[in-house]
Amino acid sequence: MTDQDDLIPQIYLITPAQFDLSQFPDQLAACLDAVPVGCLRLSLGLREEDQIAKAADALREVSHARDVALVIDSHVQMVERLGLDGVHLTDHARSVAKTRKALGDDAIVGTFCGNSRHDGMTAGELGADYVSFGPAGNSALGDGTQAELELFQWWSAMIEVPVVAEGALDDTLIRTLAPHADFFGIGDEIWSQDDPAAALTSLRNAMLG
């Protein structure tokens, strides 16, 4: 997962917390064929190892066929065993160093840091490939605290580590954040739509201005 050469942010696609394996790989393939995607995150709410492994196998086949990296949410020990490209951590900077040591320099290690620039900077110093801030939009989840525009403006001006904006995104917010974000983490915004690929294309167009 690398920063794009031009100023257009990349799409960091996030799976639903649950999905039907008989249908979702085809939906995913349609999205990956519709627009360029920089990375895919398997973000299942399941705790059953065999079900997660089956989902990872199916999505790895779809994503790797299109040269899209696949990372998994939190499950560090599954990365190598399932042939994935890395992991997305959710504990800010706490386990970045340990995870980097476990997976090596070639693996993608990213982490969600809420709206904390301190945690983001610490994660970058410890070897994170990217830092994710969110929710960028209004959301009833968590305590309602947002990652504000100012955070992304400051980060893009001061820090070289790529930054992902995610959570409650829409066309207007994407246009506002596009000059300051390297990636947009898009998930629920499209999977709840009748045509996820069309919804993703619309959001991609917003990134272009």
Average pLDDT over residues 204-208: 96
Residue pLDDT, tens place only, 126-184: 999 999 999 999 987 777 789 999 999 999 999 999 999 999 999 999 999 999 999 99
- pLDDT score at 209: 81
Place of tokens 């893009």: 156
- pLDDT score at 5: 42
Average pLDDT over residues 100-114: 97
- pLDDT score at 31: 98
Which candidate, 121, 122, 71, places its Cα nearest to that of 94? 122
CA distance 94 to 7: 31
SS3 letters across the chain: CCCCCCCCCEEEEECCCCCCCCCHHHHHHHHHHHCCCCEEEECCCCCCHHHHHHHHHHHHHHHHCCCCEEEEECCCCHHHHCCCCEEEECCCCCCHHHHHHHHCCCCEEEEECCCCHHHHHHHHHCCCCEEEECCCCCCCCCCCCCCCHHHHHHHHHHCCCCEEEECCCCHHHHHHHCCCCCEEEECHHHHCCCCHHHHHHHHHHHHCC
Domain spans of the chain, in order of start: 10-207
By percentage, how much of the chain surpasses pLDDT 90?
91
**10-207 carries CATH number 3.30.565.10:** no
- pLDDT score at 144: 77
Backbone angles phi, psi at 30, to 5 degrees: -65, -40
- 46 pLDDT band, cuts 50/70/90, is confident
6 pLDDT higher than 70: no
3 pLDDT higher than 60: no
Average pLDDT over residues 23-44: 98
Average pLDDT, the chain: 95
Average pLDDT over residues 40-65: 95
Which candidate, 75, 115, 82, places its Cα nearest to that of 99? 75
Average pLDDT over residues 74-79: 96
Q: How many CB atoms lie within 10 A of CB 7?
A: 9
Q: What are the residues whose beta carbons fall under 8 Å from the beta carbon of 86, sequence distance 6 or more? A: 1, 69, 71, 72, 79, 103, 107, 108, 109, 110, 129
Amino acid letter, 170: D
